[in-house]
Structure 1
Amino acid sequence: MRTMASAPHWARFTPGQRLARFAFYLVTIAAVVASLRTIEIIPEFLYDAPEQMADLFGRMWPPDARYLAPTLAALVETLHIATLGTLLALAMALPIGLFAARNITPSRSLNLLAKFVFVTSRSVNSLVWALLFVAVFGPGPLAGTLAIAFRSIGFTGKLLAEALEEANAGSIEALTAAGAGRPATLLFGYWPQVKPAFWSIALFRWDINIRESAVLGLVGAGGIGVALDTALNLLYWDQVAVVLGAIFLVVILAEIVVTAVRNRVL
């Protein structure tokens, strides 16, 4: 008499995978609980938070129209800081990106050095860069411009190096076989391929830098953050509303400009 073979049991995950998922969930819950205990949430402050927010917005309304002129002047300075910082970052990131691209610079030591510069630039927050340059050059837009530039080197240079490494090698080999030197290969072989990515990176970083430069004034690095810091310190909430509205407006306009330029040029 034959016995029917038992039907195979299908499982989505193996026992090892299920154990790993359970361990992940357990660690995540433990991390959340530890974070909640560390930040020491005070329930009394949470209970009246809606009332405090309503009172704060009540102090902001109506905005002080007399503060509009100095706010616009600071806003123009913020745009200058973001634009000049982006241009300076692109000028510095371009040669470092060439050193980081392994198909252009086959030196392991130069590759690692360039990547170390990228990591250093991205690891330090723009406010920390601003504090360093304020200590060196004093408060003002120069410190903000340099902070934006040094913060942007890692972002722009890393993406540029990746775009160079993904370039099609066929046209490069054809130029090299025709006797083209290194400058001609870079100009006529690599640049046409990475140009769309380069301008896309530049526009995207400029958009980010406008947001970041808006708060650099909180540490004395110029821009509209100075106006915001002054209004906050004096508790002039109606002036704070004007500054926040101006920041929101310029961020929206920058997004529209970047999108329009990308659609038209790229």
Structure 2
Amino acid sequence: MTNISSSDWTYRTPKHRLFLWLGWFALVALFVWCWRIMSQDTIWAFVWDAPAQALDIGSRMTPPEWGYLPELMKPLWDTLNIATLGTIGGVLIAIPVAFLAARNTTPSATILRPIALFIIVTSRSINSLIWALLLVAIIGPGLLAGIIAIALRSIGFVGKLLYEAIEETDPRQIEAITATGAAPTQVLTYGIVPQIMPALWSISVFRWDINIRESAILGLVGAGGLGLKMNASLAILAWDQVLVILILILATVVVSEWVSAQVRKAII
């Protein structure tokens, strides 16, 4: 029996170690190249002065202007409406898109499924702020632009997670219902929908929670909500008002996160 000493065994062969070092060298070289591109137009004097500027703005923010808080209640209500209505609209559109994208429910894997996947990818590729910027230019500023922007952004998020949930349904339940002679619509209603309803509710509430955060800044491009007040306060350098808006946004997000967690816990 041959004894193999620890010096004879290596985790990687010399060839593998060479490729590993070459890979690390290429990664470092890529990082250096990217850093040079990103920093070539940087004015470093501003960067070194940033801590002092941050302290100066922080001193101007305190104490917060609490008397400004009543003026934020309507914009806060608008923000909640943008998030809620946009989420509902996005979910209603995402449901049929998800069924068309799922392999086990699409009526056409060669035509309709690629179209549905393209819709999902397009929605996920464009940020809600960009959607709002485009919509404000098309339909004008206001809450409608914000609602549609949130809905368009939500379609991809909800559609992707939902069609994956549809594809992961238990095929045995579907086969059992099909074996009874049920029509395709009955198979869909009694075999697939009950399995995905918890996922649908959980995804929808989770997306609503995200949309609360996103809708709070859409006003920066004219889509209504707290972002409008934020933009106005920044324009006049009213930093004490900006702090009140930031605190209100933080409190709203915390409450929405708690509500979202409670709803998901009740559903799941």
Shorter-normalised TM-score: what interval? over 0.9
Residue 48 (structure 1) shift: 2.6
Residue 183 (structure 1) shift: 2.0
Residue 72 (structure 1) shift: 2.1
**4+ aligned runs moved over 6 Å, structure 1:** none
Aligned equivalents of 1:182 and 1:66: distance in 2?
61
CA deviations over 1:46-94 (Å, ceiling 9, x no partner):
3332221111110001111222122221111111101100000010000
| Gapped regions of structure 2 (runs ≥ 5) | none
Structure 1 pair 16–171 and aligned structure 2 pair: CA distance change class (3 A): farther
Query: For 1:196, which of 189, 193, 198 is the aligned residue?
Result: 198
Structure 1 pair 64–150 and aligned structure 2 pair: CA distance change class (3 A): same
In the alignment, what sits opposite 2:104?
Answer: 103
Task: Please give the residue correspondences for 1:229-248 in structure 2 after superposition, counting only pairs within 5 Å.
Answer: 229-248=231-250
In the alignment, what sits opposite 2:23?
Answer: 24
CA deviations over 1:215-265 (Å, ceiling 9, x no partner):
111110111111101111111111111111111111111111111111123
Partner SS, residue 105 of structure 2: coil
Asked if structure 2 preserves the Cα contact closer than 8 Å seen for 1:118 and 1:155, the reply is: yes
AA aligned to 1:177 is: A
Query: For 2:160, which of 144, 158, 164 is the aligned residue?
Result: 158
Structure 1 pair 168–57 and aligned structure 2 pair: CA distance change class (3 A): same
In the alignment, what sits opposite 2:89?
Answer: 88
In the alignment, what sits opposite 1:60?
Answer: 61
Residue 210 (structure 1) shift: 0.9
Aligned equivalents of 2:186 and 2:38: distance in 1?
57
Query: For 1:170, which of 169, 172, 183 is the aligned residue?
Result: 172
AA aligned to 1:88 is: G
Asked if structure 2 preserves the Cα contact closer than 8 Å seen for 1:71 and 1:242, the reply is: no
Partner SS, residue 48 of structure 1: helix
| Gapped regions of structure 1 (runs ≥ 5) | none
The alignment covers a number of residue pairs equal to 263
Aligned equivalents of 1:213 and 1:23: distance in 2?
46
Aligned equivalents of 2:204 and 2:135: distance in 1?
23
Residue 174 (structure 1) shift: 1.2
Task: Please give the residue correspondences for 1:173-184 in structure 2 after superposition, counting only pairs within 5 Å.
Answer: 173-184=175-186
Asked if structure 2 preserves the Cα contact closer than 8 Å seen for 1:99 and 1:114, the reply is: yes
Aligned equivalents of 1:115 and 1:17: distance in 2?
39
Aligned equivalents of 1:86 and 1:173: distance in 2?
33
**More deviation, 38-47/101-110:** 38-47
Task: Please give the residue correspondences for 1:201-212 in structure 2 after superposition, counting only pairs within 5 Å.
Answer: 201-212=203-214
**More deviation, 41-50/206-215:** 41-50
Aligned equivalents of 2:163 and 2:135: distance in 1?
27
Residue 143 (structure 1) shift: 0.3
TM-score (norm: length of structure 2): 0.92
Partner SS, residue 135 of structure 2: helix
AA aligned to 2:11 is: R
Structure 1 pair 89–34 and aligned structure 2 pair: CA distance change class (3 A): same
Aligned equivalents of 2:13 and 2:88: distance in 1?
52
Aligned equivalents of 2:129 and 2:211: distance in 1?
12
Residue 173 (structure 1) shift: 1.0
Aligned equivalents of 2:15 and 2:112: distance in 1?
42
Aligned equivalents of 1:164 and 1:121: distance in 2?
19
Residue 42 (structure 1) shift: 3.4
AA aligned to 1:152 is: S
Asked if structure 1 preserves the Cα contact closer than 8 Å seen for 2:233 and 2:241, the reply is: yes
In the alignment, what sits opposite 1:258?
Answer: 260
TM-score (norm: length of structure 1): 0.93
